Structure 1
Amino acid sequence: MSEETVVPEPVEPVTPMDVVDTVADATTWVTDNSDLLIGYGVNIITAILILLIGNLVAKGVGRSIGKLLTKRKLDPAVVEFLSAMVRYLLFVIFLIAALGRIGVQTASVVAVIGAAGLAVGLALQGSLSNFAAGVLIVGFRPFKSGDYVEVGGVAGSVEAIQIFQTVLKSPDNKMVVVPNAAVIGGAITNYSRHDTRRIDHVIGVSYSADLKKTKEVIHKILEADERILKEPGIQIGVVALADSSVNFVVRPWVRTEDYWNVYFDTLQAIKEGLDGEGIEIPFPQMDVHLNKPE
């Protein structure tokens, strides 16, 4: 069986005249549509300028609102949140204006943005919940910038309340970012809200110790510290008869900013004071009895 040979059709070479004709046709098209091209070019340049200028205006207005709110002594975290909201809202408005300049129907754009927003919202439910939680934090203000709080299982000083997260600084100077939904969804402990705090010590002494004398020694030590508040007073009492000690609860009140310094100092002073009076602070011990076989 014989195979048919396919002979390729000859390709006509491109002549200089063909190039000239193509260039002439392109030149003619550009000449005939020059007004249209100029209009499109002007619209595109205008749209770019609207975006650039709009971005600058949005940032400027955001900063101005931030300065205005700061002058009114609003919390810095709230100021940052509101400034960011205004900045993003203005940028979206300028973006729609730029799209309208290049011929895109703004009503269609708004509809598309709405539909896209719905789709994105369903896909990013977590982010939207963080945004909604941020609004609640700003509205109810369970804490403010600079407060020492415990939220979402972490503790630190509040540095900023942003749109989607709250930024904390831990005591060892680490930045911790907590999603706003985690902040609102759990317990919030604000250690800085009130001006005073109570220190809680548990001091164990030997069963052979004079309990009345022990109480007097501890009370005298605490009264000597000027940082301890006179009101509501110092509370000292037996809280438990433990396995190897009689436990006293010691509860002085201090200013919030003095809490940790007084906590450490009083604990050391109580130990030294009890040692000086010969009052033993026992530690767990184990007695082992060995029986010799007969």
Structure 2
Amino acid sequence: MLPENFNFDLIKAQIVAAIAQYGGKILLAILVLIIGRFLISKITHLVSQALDKRKVDRDVQPFLNSLVNVMLNIMLLLSIAGILGIQTTSFVAVLGAASLAVGFALQGSLANFAGGVLILIFKPYRVGDLISAQGFTGVVEAIQIFNTILVTVDNKTIILPNGALSTSPITNISGKGKIRVDMVFAAGSQNGVDAIRAAIRKVVDICPTALKNVEHDILVTKLTENAIFFDVRVWTPSDTFWDTYYYINEGISKQYALDGIGAPQPALLNVALKQ
């Protein structure tokens, strides 16, 4: 039940007065919000197209799009606050204080953000590069503001914080566009150095992913009583590292069989045969 002193007419009059005073501003603010969001969507789309047209680095494009979107939304928020009669100077001061408090709470995220900016500026690696960092090796799928996304050779997704990446050693395996595949192969010393090298050379020469205008090394690296070891160094485009590695391994195994290149014989067996 309503209290005896409840004045419905007074409440009604206050509501009508509030609507008369603030209703127009609220409707205008809502209208500005709807139109503003529509325009921001169109502007960010145009910015994205302009960046593509000017061939801006694809690593930087997501960051710039996000930055433009955030700045436009802040401007829209300040405009709506002004329409509603909120003092924008006080609003900005409150927003700055809140940002400072959030900044202290998110120091790790800010470090990752700063690391992302440094990576985008100095480009120690790019999207598509094969890198090794923080104990992981994979292809860079995306450079985000806070994280870098790697995809390993076995298709696992690794998310690494940019803060750590910007302050720790990184090996850019594919940054030069070509890479050397280093392997070691052994064969029995009874086959002779020239015969073993010739068998290996056949495989390297027909490898479809080995570079044709580069000298590949087939070097004797170690001699034992019953084995000859070769360092095989094959140059290949960065994106075919593993294709080259597996092709050479399989090819040499087959070529050894075709050319009659035997495996190292145990020393004890040699002694027994001599007796």
TM band (smaller chain): 0.7 to 0.9
Once the two structures are superposed, the pairs formed by residues 34-183 of structure 1 within 5 Å of their partners are: 34=17, 36-183=18-165
Under a length normalisation based on structure 1, what TM-score does the superposition of the two structures give?
Answer: 0.79
> Which of 9, 12, 16 is 1:27 aligned to?
12
Is 126-135 or 243-252 further displaced after alignment?
A: 243-252
Rounded Cα–Cα distance in structure 2 between residues aligned with 1:61 and 1:53: 12
Does residue 277 in structure 1 map to residue 268 in structure 2? Answer: no
Percent identity of paired positions between Structure 1 and Structure 2:
35
Rounded Cα–Cα distance in structure 2 between residues aligned with 1:78 and 1:55: 24
Rounded Cα–Cα distance in structure 2 between residues aligned with 1:143 and 1:206: 43
Decide whether the 8 Å contact of 2:207 with 2:247 is kept in 1. no
Rounded Cα–Cα distance in structure 2 between residues aligned with 1:211 and 1:94: 77
Which residue is equivalent to 1:204?
Answer: 186
Label 1:29 to 1:55 Cα distance change in 2 as closer, same or farther (>3 A): closer
Label 1:14 to 1:278 Cα distance change in 2 as closer, same or farther (>3 A): closer
> Which of 225, 231, 242 is 1:249 aligned to?
231
Decide whether the 8 Å contact of 1:148 with 1:157 is kept in 2. yes
Which residue is equivalent to 2:171?
Answer: 189
| Partner secondary structure for residue 7 of structure 2 | helix
Q: Tell which structure's C-alpha radius of gyration is larger.
A: 1
Decide whether the 8 Å contact of 2:190 with 2:226 is kept in 1. no
Which residue is equivalent to 2:273?
Answer: none
Decide whether the 8 Å contact of 1:127 with 1:164 is kept in 2. yes
Offset of 1:131 from its aligned partner?
0.9
Is 192-201 or 44-53 further displaced after alignment?
A: 44-53
Rounded Cα–Cα distance in structure 2 between residues aligned with 1:269 and 1:142: 35
Does residue 232 in structure 1 map to residue 217 in structure 2? Answer: no
Offset of 1:148 from its aligned partner?
3.0
Rounded Cα–Cα distance in structure 2 between residues aligned with 1:208 and 1:86: 71
Rounded Cα–Cα distance in structure 2 between residues aligned with 1:138 and 1:158: 13
Is 127-136 or 219-228 further displaced after alignment?
A: 219-228
| Partner secondary structure for residue 59 of structure 1 | helix
Structure 1 residues without counterparts, runs of 5 or longer: 1-12, 288-294
Decide whether the 8 Å contact of 1:143 with 1:190 is kept in 2. yes
Label 1:197 to 1:123 Cα distance change in 2 as closer, same or farther (>3 A): same
Rounded Cα–Cα distance in structure 2 between residues aligned with 1:96 and 1:284: 83
Which residue is equivalent to 1:291?
Answer: none
Rounded Cα–Cα distance in structure 2 between residues aligned with 1:92 and 1:100: 12
| Partner secondary structure for residue 254 of structure 1 | strand
Decide whether the 8 Å contact of 2:218 with 2:233 is kept in 1. yes
Decide whether the 8 Å contact of 2:187 with 2:264 is kept in 1. yes
Offset of 1:249 from its aligned partner?
0.5
Which residue is equivalent to 1:263?
Answer: 245
Code of the aligned partner of 2:42: G
Deviations 1:23-81 (A, max 9, x none): 123234445xx2x4323122223233333333332232222111111112223231111
Offset of 1:179 from its aligned partner?
1.8
Rounded Cα–Cα distance in structure 2 between residues aligned with 1:244 and 1:126: 58
Offset of 1:244 from its aligned partner?
7.1
Rounded Cα–Cα distance in structure 1 between residues aligned with 2:182 and 2:265: 20
| Partner secondary structure for residue 142 of structure 1 | coil
Offset of 1:22 from its aligned partner?
1.7
Which residue is equivalent to 1:3?
Answer: none
